[in-house]
Amino acid sequence: MSPLLLVLLPTLAEGPMARAELSFARSEGGPEVDLLVEAAGAQLRARVAGRLGLRVEAGCGALRCRIALDGLAPAVDAALPQLLAVPASPAPRLTLPERKQARRSWRGAWRRPATVLDAALHRLAEGTSAPLGLRPDLGRSALATSWAAGWAQARRLVVAGDYSAEALTAALAGQEVSRVDTGSTGPPASRGNATRADAEGLPLLAVDWPDASRAQVALVWATDPAQAPRDQALAGDFQSHLVQALRETRTFTYDVSFDTFDTWATASWDVRPESAWESLTVALGELWEQGRKDDAGAREAAWRRLLLGRALLADTLHGRIAGSSLGPLPPLPAAPFSAPSVIGAVVVADLHALTPEWQALPHSELDRCTLLYGANCPPGS
Amino acid sequence: MIALLACALALPLPPAERFRFPAVRLDTSPTVVLLPEPGSGLVSAQWLFDTGAADDAPEEFGAAHLVEHLAFGDIGAEGAADYDERLGHLGGLSDGWTDRERAGIGATIPAADARSGADLFGLELARMRTLVVSGGSLTRQRAVITEELAETHDAAHGLDRVWLSRLLWSGGEPWSRHPASPPQEAIAAGAAMARWTRLLENGVLVLAGDFDAAELRALVEAALPAGRRPSPRTEGELGQPGCEPAAPATSWTRGNGNRGSVLVAWPVPGRGHRDRVALEALARWVGGARVSVGAGCGEWVAERTDAWLALPHHRASIVRALREVAARGLDAAVLDRVRAEAVADQARAFSSLPLRARVAAGCVLAGRAPDCAADEVQAWLDLTGEKLAGAAARWLPAEAVTTLAVLPPGTRFAPLIPGVREWSAP
């Protein structure tokens, strides 16, 4: 294994708490690595259960898989050796209920709105197709390979809070450690290039969900870390243009979700089907007009709200660790924002319930199961 | 393994004093509490009101939630910059919530300079004095709330707790009093404004974070009149008017998902009762359970989701487990685990500045010192098996249980769960 990258974060006002998070880059493991990390977390939880209310969190996000200890500092200190033993341990065996649950979750994915929307966004922005594949391979050999690949490189241990330096030193004995003294470990790795909008019009991906009572609409645009203030002003918080327009002014929706990746960003909202088209045109209008609307005061306000986001992250142990992998905050923008390059839009709805304008747009249409599995819906789902 | 176990048993819980923090309660109207935290990089203003959806008059159901939304409206004049726009210029973000008993609104800004505390208080003062509630803002926020309810009710079993409340309490929890009720059309701007004024009179504002406490105190005391401390809300105890349990019942209804759930519930005493910590400990031990308490009454509810055939067994096992605790108490090691989890969760509730401010507000609203959370931790440290057994015997006996089962559509229910009656959605 490569050396363990160690990041120690400062202690603030969190009281008698600590958090230790061991992680690896997501791209290093296979698709089944999510199950293995969760299973490893469950096994660690069983071993340390009852220890001063210690919480074990395990799972994979878009970029990293992690297992974390969270709780009163003495409990975290005491459980560090078990945490650090996880990478060298054999791949956890999935119990029969875990295998059943994994297969059930795979089969039922097409019924979960968030999963469908996420798959559609990644298909539009990155060309990712059939993310769930034909069937999860839960064979012992496949799992062992995924497990080993995941932990082989780029392991990172981040510790924050009221932990004991002596306990940490003792737990790390015998490990090859590369220490990083600052909180930042650089910007996250890129997941590939976003596709660009073609000149003919807005690429639209329509996913049919028969009998859905609501529609989910999303806009996708190109971005990079330097554009964070612009994206914040466009969709990043309650004061943003999209939330104000779609919620406060036009009352199409209660909330606009915003997410940003290395090269693309997305805003999505949930509306009545008859409002879906109009909400999209309003959102596009805000996007194209942003450069004209945002004066120096608005740009500074958006930048300050980014600053608040970083400060709120630093205010908690969990957030401080998450923030340690973010790049530095971009400087206060002096020049007007440039309108983002729109990659496309997604709608997930009962396509027959949408107003006719959608049908007139050039679009590609998919059913949920082709989107997720590349095939018909799994039998028994 | 033995060494590890011994090591685990030897780990001490932090003393309650670790949960005290310096806070100053000012004798102003509304009550203001200062919670300075130099170096935090943030300033937060958290309001807490001892009024919730249960206080809506019949002709004004939904008013509490609506007023929470309206509190972020125009300041000074209709069409002027609203609260959130002004807050945005300070780099801040806001949030709000309403439940049956209480409501809260809050805002946090980065501590950009020495004036940040004063700036945020100035914005709160402007809202207190010159919030505008107009017909236009009423119409808009009704529409926003309608969309909010449509999104949240899309989740399966979103209405179960309302139905369970109707079973638990005599006369039922009227559907419209639930925070998920859409606001009545009859709520007019004048009534909403009057409600806002009443909220301010009895509310608590906590200003927390990176500011000079002496300077901010002088500013607050110069701006606000002297006032009395908020009186803790009092309601009848369990069994008295307003807190009368209904007869135990077992009912079922149809849900949306393809698995069923069962809610097993008892009415219990409210906030401040000597058995509340013990009841929460029992909820933690049973797992998948919660205690929700108001000023006079509360509910102890355990929930299980499973294939519908398994639901009667879940119900029976919960009732049986509590009967055994009432008779024999809880194993000391298990009690230690439950206690440790609770203390750790108390520490997590302290884990961010806005949360600490809300905890302080809750203490003051209950007529206690702002750092009463330390007393809460002490109550957990003092919890014994005998107290748990007594609480289980007094409040969670088998003969007083109410059960609501939510089944997949198309389930043929009878006769597998005897004694059941069908429940229809309101």
Structure tokens of A288?
A: 């194209």
Judged on CB neighbours under 10 Å (0-12, 13-18, 19+), A312 is: buried
Q: What are phi and psi of A227, to 5 degrees?
A: -90, 10
> What residues 23-42 of chain B have any CB closer than 8 A to a CB of chain A?
37, 39-42
Q: Do B144 and A251 touch (CB under 8 A)?
A: yes
Q: Is residue B244 part of a domain?
A: no
Percent of chain B with pLDDT over 90: 54
Write down the residue that tokens 């998450």 correspond to: A322
Kindly tell me if the per-residue pLDDT of A40 is higher than 70.
Answer: yes
Q: Are residues B167 and B96 in the same domain?
A: yes
Q: How many Cβ pairs closer than 8 A exist between chain A and B?
A: 141
CB-closest option in A52, A271, A317 to B344: A52
CATH label of the domain that carries residue B134: 3.30.830.10
**Tens-place pLDDT, residues A333-355:** 888 888 889 999 999 999 998 88
Contacts of A13 in chain B (CB under 8 A): 37, 40, 353
Kind and range of the H or E element at B319? helix B311-328
Q: pLDDT confidence of A43, banded at 50, 70, 90? A: very high
Range A4-94+138-180 has CATH code 3.30.830.10: yes
**CB < 8 Å from A in window 69-88 of B:** 84-85, 87-88
Put simply, the answer to whether A17 touches B347 (Cβ < 8 Å) is: yes
State the pLDDT at residue B1: 45
Given a cut of 50, is residue A198 above it in pLDDT?
Answer: no
Q: Tell me if the domain spanning A204-373 has CATH number 3.30.830.10.
A: yes
Whole-number average pLDDT of chain B: 87
Interface ipTM above 0.85: no
At residue B409, does pLDDT exceed 80?
Answer: no
Judge if A4-94+138-180 and A204-373 fold alike in CATH terms. yes
pTM value?
Answer: 0.83
CA A156 to chain centre: 18
Same domain, B198 and B309: no
| B16 inside domain | no
Q: Assess if residue B11 is contained within a domain.
A: no
- Alpha-carbon distance B400 to nearest alpha carbon in chain A (angstroms): 32
Mean pLDDT across the stretch B415-420?
A: 61
Q: Which two tokens stand for residue A369?
A: 């199961």
Distance CA B421, CA A375 (A): 44
d(CA A186, CA A183): 9
Neighbours of B78 (CB within 10 A): 12
Please indicate whether, in this complex, the C-beta atoms of A16 and B341 are within 8 angstroms of each other.
no
- A50–B337 C-beta distance less than 8 A: yes
Query: Hey, which residues does A266 pair with through a beta bridge?
Result: A220, A259
Question: pLDDT class for B174, splitting at 50, 70, 90?
Answer: low
Q: B7: which chain A residues are within 8 Å (Cβ-Cβ)?
A: 78
Task: Tell me whether strands B204-209 and B103-110 are parallel, antiparallel or unpaired.
Answer: unpaired
Domain map of chain A by residue range? 4-94+138-180, 204-373
Rounded to a whole number, what is the distance in Å from the CA of B307 to chain A's nearest CA? 14
> Which residues of A fall within a CB distance of 8 Å from B341?
53
Residues of B in contact with A314 (CB under 8 A): 41
Mutate to test the interface with A, among B352, B355, B376 (most CBs of A within 10 A): B352
Contact B112 A72 (CB under 8 A): no
Residues B299-326 have pLDDT tens digits of 999 999 998 888 889 999 999 999 999 9
> What gap in Å lies between CA B239 and CA A266, rounded to an integer?
53
Under a CB-based contact definition with an 8 Å cutoff, are residues B205 and B31 in contact?
A: yes
Q: Which domain holds residue B171?
A: 23-223
For residues A172-197, average pLDDT: 56
> Of B411, B398, B397, B409, whose CA–CA distance to B310 is shortest?
B411
DSSP 8-state class, residue B114: T
Same domain membership, residue B46 and residue B183: yes
In eight-state DSSP terms, residue A31 is: T
Greater confidence, A68 or B421?
A68
Chain A positions in Cβ-Cβ contact with residue B94 (cut-off 8 Å): 238
Averaged pLDDT for residues B331-335: 91
B262 touches B314 (CB < 8 A): yes
Q: Do B351 and A213 touch (CB under 8 A)?
A: no
- Contact yes or no for B81/B91 (Cβ under 8 A): no
B284 touches chain A (CB under 8 A): no
Note whether B313 and B213 are same-domain residues.
Answer: no
Same domain, B370 and B329: yes
Please identify, among B153, B188, B223, the residue that sits at the C-terminal boundary of a domain.
Answer: B223
Q: Are residues B362 and B298 in the same domain?
A: yes
Which band of pLDDT confidence, cut at 50, 70 and 90, is reported for residue B157? very low
Write down the pLDDT at residue B287. Answer: 93
Instruction: Answer yes or no: is B40 within a domain.
Output: yes
At B415, the pLDDT band (50, 70, 90 cuts) reads low
Mind listing the pLDDT tens digit for each residue in B119-144?
Answer: 999 999 999 999 999 999 999 999 89
| CA–CA dist A3, A24 (Å, integer) | 12
B210 and B255 belong to one structural domain = no
* pLDDT (tens digit per residue) in B207-263: 999 999 999 999 999 999 998 777 777 666 888 877 888 888 888 887 767 788 899
Average pLDDT over residues A5-12: 84
Number of domains forming the structure of chain B: 2
Q: Angle, nearest 10°, between helix axes B135-152 and B63-70?
A: 110
Looking at the structure, do residues B162 and B297 belong to the same domain, yes or no?
no
Q: Could you read off the pLDDT of A222-272 as tens digits, one per residue? A: 999 889 999 999 999 998 999 999 999 999 999 999 999 889 999 999 999
Q: Strand pairing partners for B24? A: B34
Chain A nearest-CA residue for B95: A238
Residue B327 to chain A, least CA–CA distance (Å): 24
Cβ–Cβ contact B11 with A under 8 A: yes
- B168 and B291 share one domain: no
Q: What is the mean pLDDT of residues B97-101?
A: 84
